[in-house]
Amino acid sequence: MADQRSVLQDYDRYISGLFAPAADALRSARGEMLRASMPEINVSASEGKLLHLLARAIGAERILEIGTLGGYSTIWLARALPPQGKLISLEIDARYAEVARRNLKRANLAEKVQVRIGPALESLSQLEAEDEGPFDLVFIDADKDGYVNYLRKAMPLLREGGLVLGDNALPDAVLDSAAESGTKRYNAEVSARPDLISILVPVLRTRGIDGLLISVKQAQAPKA
């Protein structure tokens, strides 16, 4: 098992060495997070690059992130935006949000990114009330038990053709049909929605394998 994990790390080092070498503001953001004793649960560099590439591929100008932590994934996503683009990131922990704001400032992204403090479900209601939609891309990465509700709240805020990305979609619990997990419930919900076309893609993390559930919003099939 330990062997398998180190092989996965070697694969990830190869991929990120070529396509997502640790650099500049991203490296400092990780350093600041360590100094602030924050959990090391940000996306990997290779997954960050995947988020960035997906945002670029659809020409995203408005991005919504649920779960900021220190702003590491936020930097990958916000760097995909055009000059007039905007990203709103939702975070419940005020101390984490402060670290994220500092990291975003250092990355010269402070003008494009707004970090909103509060429980994501409440912030999503505020975004709806403020008519902040439509977004081109929603990245869900906060508390796993909240994912299904975040999806339901975010769908009306997402344009047709927009992407929903769900992190941590391959927890160990998927290997045990009796095991419960928030992201397993999310995966089931997404797979059953007629307005999403989706695939769960395995991604490499420092601790081994995980998944990103990628969904495109489409018009619901007209009733026959």
- Rounded to 5, what percent of the chain is helix, strand, coil? 45, 25, 30
Of residues 5 and 108, the one with the C-beta less far from ligand DHB: 5
Identify the residue among 44, 89, 168, 187 touching ligand DHB (CB under 6 A): 168
Using CB distances below 5 to 8 A depending on partner kind, what does residue 136 bind out of ligand DHB, Mg ion, ligand SAH, none?
none
| CA gap 171, 210 in Å, rounded | 6
When asked if residue 46 is in the footprint of ligand SAH (CB under 6 A), the reply is no
Give the one residue of 13, 28, 41, 149 binding ligand SAH; rule: CB under 6 A: 41
Q: Binding of ligand SAH at residue 40 (CB under 6 A)?
A: no
β strands within the chain, DSSP E = 62-66, 86-91, 113-117, 135-140, 158-167, 196-205, 208-217
Sign for the CA dihedral angle at 57, 153, 64, 100 comes to negative
Select from 36-44, 130-138, 187-195, 211-219 the region that touches ligand SAH (CB under 6 A). 36-44
Is 120 an interacting residue with respect to ligand SAH (CB under 6 A)? yes
Q: Alpha carbon of 35 to those of 29, 45, 84, 97, 133: distances in Å? A: 10, 19, 32, 15, 35
- Which H helix or E strand runs over 83? none
The first and second tokens of residue 138, run together, are 């929603």
Minimal distance, residue 119 CB to ligand SAH, in Å: 4
Q: Which of 8, 41, 121, 155 binds ligand DHB (CB under 6 A)?
A: 41
Q: Which of 124, 135, 141, 203 binds ligand DHB (CB under 6 A)?
A: 141
Nearer to ligand SAH, 83 or 91 (CB): 91
Near ligand SAH in 75-94, by CB under 6 A: 90-93
CA distance 95 to 102: 11
CA 173 to chain centre: 20
The continuous run of DSSP H or E covering 81 comes out as none
Can residue 167 be called a binding residue for ligand DHB (CB under 6 A)? yes
Handedness of CA 24, 135, 197, 191 (dihedral sign): positive
Minimum distance from CB of 112 to ligand SAH (Å)? 16
Q: Which residues bind ligand DHB (CB under 6 A)?
A: 41, 141, 167-168
The residue ranges that bind ligand SAH (CB under 6 A) are 41-43, 67-69, 72-73, 90-93, 96, 119-120, 141-143, 146
